[in-house]
Amino acid sequence: MEKTLKLSLAALAMIVFCGLGVAPAEAQYSENYKLMKAIKDGDYYSARAAILSGAQVNARDDHDVPYVCIVADKGDTDMLNIMLDQGANPDLARRDGENPLMIAAAKGNSAMVGVLLAHKADPNEQDKNGETALIKAARLGNRDIVEKLIAAKADIDHQDYTGKSALGYAMDNRRQRVAQVLKKAGATD
């Protein structure tokens, strides 16, 4: 009996020591952490699993950056679709006021701009400098994005805090094709 008890205690100690009776290390992390890891790794399956397990698609990281902005910055249109389809707000902004649409426009990511507009992103949101996605796209000379934003009812005459509009930036940066598109849409400088 004493020998059986010692063996049972030894077996229990072995289970505890080897971790056989403990949940996997991943189970110790929150669902939001799992979603952030999936975003960084580009792991769509894990992202869906984390969201279905309760991860908040409108969460922010430790630097107060919304997950959707991180996805936009990475340029991962598939991950963005997953998050938006699960209810992520396409207009969540970083501290500087930039939201995913502005980030995508500034990076010249036309596909992502299209996805965001299809999910009702507001093309007239402004960052802390008063810039909109249209101003950012016009400055870079991205005609395709400018056309998409105009079609989505972006304010073509909006001026940032320096008093410049999208047309002003297009003209200053010698983006003639973009300037033509803006003028055709009725932009005035």
DSSP state of 26: G
Model pTM score: 0.84
d(CA 165, CA 6): 81
Q: Are both 82 and 132 inside the same structural domain?
A: no
- What pLDDT is attached to residue 2? 53
Please indicate, yes or no, whether residues 130 and 84 belong to a single structural domain of this protein.
no
> How many domains does one find in the chain?
2
CA 130/CA 144 separation, integer angstroms: 22
Structure token pair of residue 162: 């320096």
Question: Does residue 10 form part of some domain?
Answer: no
Question: Same domain, yes or no, for 69 and 140?
Answer: no
- The answer to whether residue 21 scores a pLDDT higher than 80 is no
**Residue 9 maps to a domain:** no
Distance CA 75, CA 107 (A): 8
Q: What percent of the chain has pLDDT over 90?
A: 83
Structure tokens at 171: 């003209």
Final residue of a domain: which of 96, 122, 148? 122
Cβ-proximal residues to 118 (8 Å cutoff; 6+ apart), any chain = none
Would you say 165 and 157 are in contact if contact means Cβ atoms under 8 Å apart? yes
Chosen domain end from 77, 93, 122: 122
Of the residues 89, 122, 155, which one is the last residue of a structural domain? Answer: 122
pLDDT, position 29: 73
Are 118 and 130 found together in one domain?
A: no
- The CATH number of the domain holding residue 162 is 1.25.40.20
How far is the C-alpha of 11 from the C-alpha of 21, rounded, in Å?
11
Element of type H or E holding 107: none
Residue 51 has pLDDT above 50, yes or no: yes
132 with 156, same domain: the answer is: yes
**Cβ contacts of residue 28 below 8 Å, gap of 6+?**
none
Residue 6 falls inside a structural domain: no
- Residues 52-110 have pLDDT tens digits of 999 999 999 999 999 999 999 999 999 999 999 999 999 999 999 999 999 999 999 99
Give domain status of residue 67, yes or no: yes
* Predicted local confidence at residue 188, as pLDDT: 87
Asked if residue 22 belongs to a domain, the reply is: no
Residue 102 zone, left/alpha/beta (φ > 0; ψ -120 to 50; rest): alpha
Tell me how far CA of residue 189 lies from CA of 2, 96, 171, in angstroms.
Answer: 94, 26, 10
Residue 185 domain boundaries: 126-189
Mind listing the pLDDT tens digit for each residue in 151-181? 999 999 999 999 999 999 999 999 999 999 9
Q: Do 103 and 34 share a structural domain?
A: yes
Residue 168 belongs to a domain:
yes
Question: Is 78 inside any structural domain?
Answer: yes
How far is it, in rounded angstroms, from Cα 136 to Cα 166? 8
Percent of the chain with pLDDT over 70: 85
| Spatial separation of the C-alpha atoms in residues 107 and 113, rounded to whole Å | 10
108 and 142 inside one domain: no
For residue 67, what pLDDT is reported?
97
Helix (H, G, I), strand (E, B) or coil at 177: helix
Whether residues 103 and 73 share a domain: the answer is yes
35 and 93 in a common domain: yes
pLDDT at 48 over 60: yes
